[in-house]
Amino acid sequence: MEYVENTQSNTMVLAKETLISPGFYTTNIRKLSDIDTLSFQGAFNTTVANLKNDYNKDKYIRDGRFNQSWDHIQGEAQELIIKLLEMYFTAEYSGFILYKELSYQLKETNSILSDGFSLMSRDEARHASFLNKALLDFHVKPGLDFLKKEHRKYIFLPFSWFIYSTYLSERISSCYYITIFEHLKAYPERSIYPLFSFYKSWSEDENRHGDFFGAIIKSQPQFSNGLRAKIVCKFFLLLIFSMTYFKYKSNDKLLALLGLDAREYYVSTIKKVNNTIREDLPTILDVEEPRFFEKLDICSLHILENKKINISNQNMFLKSIRKAPHYFTLFLIMLRLFFMKSIDTREKQ
């Protein structure tokens, strides 16, 4: 533990440094540079103007509600809140670094995209800074060792992976935040810490980031038109939605603390996101079809079985043999999900 300055109250607080490891991502910069923003000027101008307006500039002010000790939150509740804050701090910081670097790399070649990424990095930095202060409330100081150049390991995401995963993570996080905000507005007694009352602004920011990526998707024929675009889109939607859904069990205690049922929360988030993205994508999944989540539940059971095998004392070879049938079943179920009917969003146009 060491004393750290709390800039909010100009006091020194006792905090323990914790290791934070945000991901460092990069993608094909040439393909980003080549994006023709002129032919889609309307879409880009609107999304960049909305980012420039910075509607939530004055919303992230830690008001009087934070001026108290949070040491009464102890035990499992404290652990869960710290886990939530660390998880989001890491994600926001990753977003900040990614957008900041892209903005810099595109400065000379694509000024519209560079501006957009710079404005989004401003938002992510603000979110990360807010979470940093929240962590100090719980005596945790995120260690910034990862910023040292020698510690950075960049993960290269192929262009379509980058666009789809970032676009969907913005839309999904926007839905996460607003769902929690609305739930706690209805059940204020469940709001054990004031951070959640900022989730409406947070959700709006992430949604504007999603709009910016939506404009990129619409400007790229390989993402928006034709059979190949639909197949690629379906693949990414299935991959990212299922990965999101599989996480629900690891967040069940945290959500229960706020009075939410984890499965219901994840199902409703995925359904909301699926509905929101129909404006941007050529196809969406039929997540209202009950078999969709039923099949994902079966996948969850196989993943759990494999996790159990992983922690057993058997040797690697035996573990691999025992895990193989589960992987095979997982593959078959995912294949069946992929061939389930999807909804063509361009049909009526």
Residue numbers of the site for Fe ion (CB under 5 A)? 92, 124, 127, 170, 206, 209
Is residue 270 within 8 Å of 286, Cβ to Cβ?
no
Nearest distance in Å: CB 349, Fe ion = 29
In terms of phi and psi (left: phi > 0; alpha: psi -120 to 50; beta: otherwise), the region of 281 is beta
Cβ within 8 Å of residue 175, ≥6 positions away:
203, 269, 272, 273, 276
Shorter beta-carbon distance to Fe ion: residue 127 or 234:
127
Report yes or no: 26 and 94 within 8 Å, Cβ to Cβ: no
Largest CA distance in the chain: 61
DSSP per-residue codes, 57-105: TTT----GGGSS--TTS-HHHHHHHHHHHHHHHHHHHHHHHHHHHHHHH
CB 87 to Fe ion: min, Å: 13
Beta carbon of residue 131, minimum distance to Fe ion (angstroms, whole number): 9
Nearest distance, CB of residue 166 and Fe ion, angstroms: 8
| Least CB distance to Fe ion at residue 321 (A) | 43
Other CB atoms within 10 A of residue 194 CB: 16
Whole-number Å distance between alpha carbons of 20 and 142: 6
**Beta-carbon contacts of residue 55 (< 8 Å; ≥ 6 apart):** 204
Beta bridge partners of 24: 154
Residue among 104, 119, 105 nearest 29 (CA): 105
Closest to 218 in 3D by CA, of 18, 41, 29, 75:
41
Q: Specify the long-range contacts of residues 73-76, CB closer than 8 Å, at least 24 apart.
A: 73/138, 73/192, 73/193, 76/253
Residue type, 22: P
| Closer residue to Fe ion, CB minimum distance, 203 or 345 | 203
Shortest separation between residue 95's beta carbon and Fe ion, angstroms: 5
- Name the residue nearer to Fe ion (CB basis): 53 or 310: 53
Q: At its nearest, how many Å lie between Fe ion and the CB of residue 96?
A: 8
User: Nearest distance from residue 297's CB to Fe ion, in Å?
Assistant: 29
Closer CB to Fe ion, 127 or 183, in the complex: 127
Between 60 and 235, CB nearer to Fe ion: 60
Output 86 or 206, the one with its CB closest to Fe ion.
Answer: 206
Q: Based on CB atoms, which residue is closest to Fe ion, 209 or 230?
A: 209
- Closer residue to Fe ion (CB): 167 or 245: 167
